[in-house]
Chains A and B, each alone.
Chain A
């Protein structure tokens, strides 16, 4: 009898399970996960302090309830050690499990920078509810938090910590926040709004050493600035978790390589979410996971369905200055046209007259729907 096994219980794993169950109530479905398997919303981790939510309150549905509701066998706290592709068997810390179709939803890891000093092991990274629990515990009684990385996660945490009364310093190599997503004016708007919240910036800069000191940590930056911190959070980016797939001989580049059916180089193994690379692209956001999961659920149900991504604007949850960005495709020719409007910035990326991407801050985020519909068309 056929059976489907999913490795990972994050948004990708659970969304796929739920979408598959809408089509097929019977085929055995198993999720193997290294953590508890509780369903929670990853985007909420970097907004929980402002909402005064404890890590426990972030659990939307406990694992046992997910198992019952969706008729899934959940094997939690289980590490998958290897994939035997010939036998279609997984070797794990809890024994062997056979599969007919396997889906890798094992996500990504926060990149760990090589930094000098005797306290680098204490740098925190948050990429799961479990990580967040540890971070939340460590935060108690602390004041000054240094965040390495002013990308999406770094800025969201900075805003959330600032709201909750912490003193926050952001350090980034780029000369602006959200360096890979936003054009200059839009970034300046976000930076000004976060500065007004009391956030300090160390841009065009990076951390060179982290050592223990009498009052927490002594941080040295490349330009020789010295900062004191009670806690250091690293949010310098994600690296797809390809270890298991590579060891099994599956094609991997920056992520596990999949075709438009989310299929890896093995016809019985698929990959979805932060671990997957599709058309040379990593799409570590919520919307591509949802759309990919719906297509893959149909394919696993026997109806081969290529994923077709529409415009997928990314929300940056920084309440001090809401940001929506729909980045232009990689290698897209064209340029940004930025307009400062009342209460925000409206930035359009155009090739000739055609709208190929946009970035909106503050009040300009109201144009999101209209601009999403205009992508690929002539714009004023």
Chain B
């Protein structure tokens, strides 16, 4: 399981936890998140995230 960070605001998406608020189940891989999903905090696009080391 990996974590991805929004490079604009610092929000972290953790694959292990998913993001149930937007219907993304725990365990959802980054690749499987829809391309039009936006950062829940600042609203930038999925392409503005990068992988971070845990």
Contact = CB atoms under 8 A, between A and B. Distances in A.
A286 B42 contact: yes
Given A60-B38, A369-B52, A369-B53, A39 B10 contact: no
B8 interface: yes
- Counting contact residues on chain B (CB < 8 A from A), the size range is 10 to 19
A203 B10 CA distance: 34
A39 B42 contact: no
B43 A40 contact: yes
Interface string B30-54: 0000000011011111001000110
Contact of A11 (B42, B45, B53): B42
Interface string A322-341: 00100000000000000000
Interface residues of A, number: 18
A106 interface: no
Nearest to B43: A41
B9 interface: yes
A286 B45 contact: no
B7 interface: yes
Interface string A37-74: 00111011000000100000000100000000000000
A44 B9 contact: no
Contacts, number: 41
A292 B33 CA distance: 29
A44 B53 CA distance: 26
A39 B38 CA distance: 12
Interface of A: 11, 15, 18, 39-41, 43-44, 51, 60, 286-287, 290, 315, 317, 324, 368-369
Contacts of B52: 369
A22 to B, nearest CB: 11
B9 A287 contact: yes
17 contacts: A11-B43, A15-B41, A41-B38, A41-B42, A41-B43, A43-B44, A44-B43, A44-B44, A44-B45, A60-B38, A60-B43, A286-B42, A290-B10, A315-B48, A317-B48, A368-B7, A369-B53
